[in-house]
Structure 1
Amino acid sequence: MRTAIKICGISTPEALDAAVAAEADFAGLVFFPPSPRHVDTYAAAALAARGGGKIGRVGLFVDADDGLLRDAIGAGRLDAVQLHGEETPERVAQVKERFGLPVWKALPIATETDVQKAEAYRGVADLLLFDAKTPKDAALPGGMGLRFDWSLLSGWRGKTGWGLAGGLSPANVAQAIAETGAPLVDTSSGVECAPGVKDVDKIAAFCEAARQI
């Protein structure tokens, strides 16, 4: 089965066009002001109009309230919501019910115990995104180029409804897919030339490498 590809932190028309040209499956729009990849509703609306039906749009939120979710979903014409904060299984279920969209839950991973915590979200979230755990004093919950020990996911190999993030780049994505069997891979800083600045050549190279498996 072909591995799905998400390019997260898309914030410019050029980056969106590159993701579409490389046949990525999803563009991630970050609605989190502290992030260098943040887009407001006006930018999200413009990107949604430009992308049309050529690529799926996933909005990334960090402990967002319903007002922000509602505005961003409408402006970005989102196909899915990705919750990247401390959202509980109950909050995930609530968001799914209120907005009627698939909900992805990002989970920070550093140890086997972190992977086991994912069980609480199974059957609640539509997709679990295993991402590298950032330092406690980090300003951002992700997008920092960190990776974790992929062997921790050995118990999840072959299961549907999950994806791999954290430190993925054109240089290692094929290996990551081979080792984990991830149905979806997600990159952000791995295809940038500076924080928040996407490199169109790296986007193309990432998608090409991911499709080698």
Structure 2
Amino acid sequence: MSDIRIKICGLSTLPTLEATIAAGADMAGFVFFAKSPRHISLETARALGRAAQGRIRKVALSVDASNADLDAMVDALAPDLLQLHGRETPERVGAVKARFGLPVIKAIGVATAADVAAAAAYLGAADILLFDAKPAPGAAVPGGAGLAFDWTALRGHAGGEWMLSGGLDPDNVAEALALTQAPAVDVSSGVESARGVKDEAKIAAFVAAARR
């Protein structure tokens, strides 16, 4: 079996969380960003967090959140990791990590190899870099749009732990892994039947394809 680590992001219901665990994914991502169709309330986060506890690593995703919002999110979900998906600076990433004592994933928008190189600024602050497609100018949300970037920009990337995201689905994840040699992958829209609606069969197919 492959040792690729797999994160299913944007979970919002108990059946899709259970499907993610049953498929053998390593991480379950929960979105706390009101503009996202995958945003969950603190009440939902509390229920899903209890269901996931000890069964899969929980990741709380936020976008340029205040300390007060982060406090509420962490209190509700009790996450194992935090994912910062906005314009957080390396200093802000370090401050968040220090505040909660949790590993931090920092999302990096990529359009060209220069964006990958610029991510080096976060190496001392973030525990894991997540390379995602750079959103279009003026986009309401910074990810989860099902867009891929030129994966060859990551060829030979070395420097800390990292994950590949952006436009992945059950049909292309094997190709993406072969091309980039990524140690971990993250998917959201690629396992949905409609925007924001996770599909249990697609979750299982994605994990199986990545493991192969």
Same fold (TM over 0.5): yes
What secondary structure is seen at the aligned counterpart in 2 of 1:186?
strand
SS at match of 1:16: helix
For residues 67 and 195 of structure 2, the distance between their equivalents in structure 1, rounded to whole angstroms, comes to 28
1:181 aligned partner, one-letter code: Q
1:6 matched to which residue of 2?
7
1:1-213 aligned at under 5 Å gives the runs 2-156=3-157, 159-212=159-212
SS at match of 1:135: coil
Percent identical: 55
SS at match of 1:156: coil
**What letter matches 2:204 in structure 1?**
A
Q: Tell me how far apart the structure 2 counterparts of residues 108 and 184 of structure 1 sit (CA, whole Å).
A: 16
- Cα deviation for residue 112 of structure 1 reads 1.4
Q: TM-score, normalised by structure 2?
A: 0.97
Q: CA deviation at 1:155?
A: 3.0
Which whole-Å deviations, capped at 9, do the CAs of 1:123-144 have from their partners, x for residues lacking one? 2100000000111021110000
Deviations 1:86-142 (A, max 9, x none): 000000000001110001100000011111110100121000000001110211100
Q: Is the 8 A contact 2:156 2:180 kept in 1?
A: no
Amino acid of the residue matched to residue 121 of structure 1? Answer: Y
**Matches of 1:53 and 1:89, distance apart in 2:** 30
Cα drift, residue 160 of structure 1:
4.1
- Structure 1 Cα separation of the partners of residues 113 and 49 of structure 2: 38
TM-score normalized by the length of structure 1: 0.97
Separation in 2 of the partners of 1:131 and 1:176? 13
Displaced runs of 4 or more, over 2 A: none
Partner Cα separation in structure 1 for residue 138 and residue 156 of structure 2: 30
Q: More deviation in 50-59 or 203-212?
A: 50-59
C-alpha separation in 2, matches of 1:154 and 1:51? 34
CA contact (8 A) 2:170 2:205 kept: yes
Q: In structure 1, the residue corresponding to 2:156 is in which secondary structure?
A: helix
SS of the residue corresponding to residue 185 of structure 2 reads strand
Q: Is contact 2:127-2:160 (8 Å) kept?
A: no
Maintained 8 Å contact 1:160/1:183? no
Query: Structure 1 CA distance, aligned partners of 2:132 and 2:70?
Result: 22
Q: Counterparts of 1:80 and 1:70 in 2: how far apart (Å)?
A: 13
- The answer (yes or no) to whether the contact 1:16–1:51 under 8 Å persists in 2 is yes
Contact 2:63/2:86 (8 A) holds in 1: yes
CA distance in 2, matches of 1:121, 1:10: 27
1:14-38 alpha-carbon deviations (Å, 9 max, x no partner): 1101000001000100000010000
Structure 1 vs Structure 2 CA RMSD: 1.0
- SS of the aligned residue for 1:38 comes to coil
Equivalent-residue separation in structure 2 for 1:92 and 1:162 (angstroms): 15
The answer for unaligned runs of 5 or more in structure 1 is: none
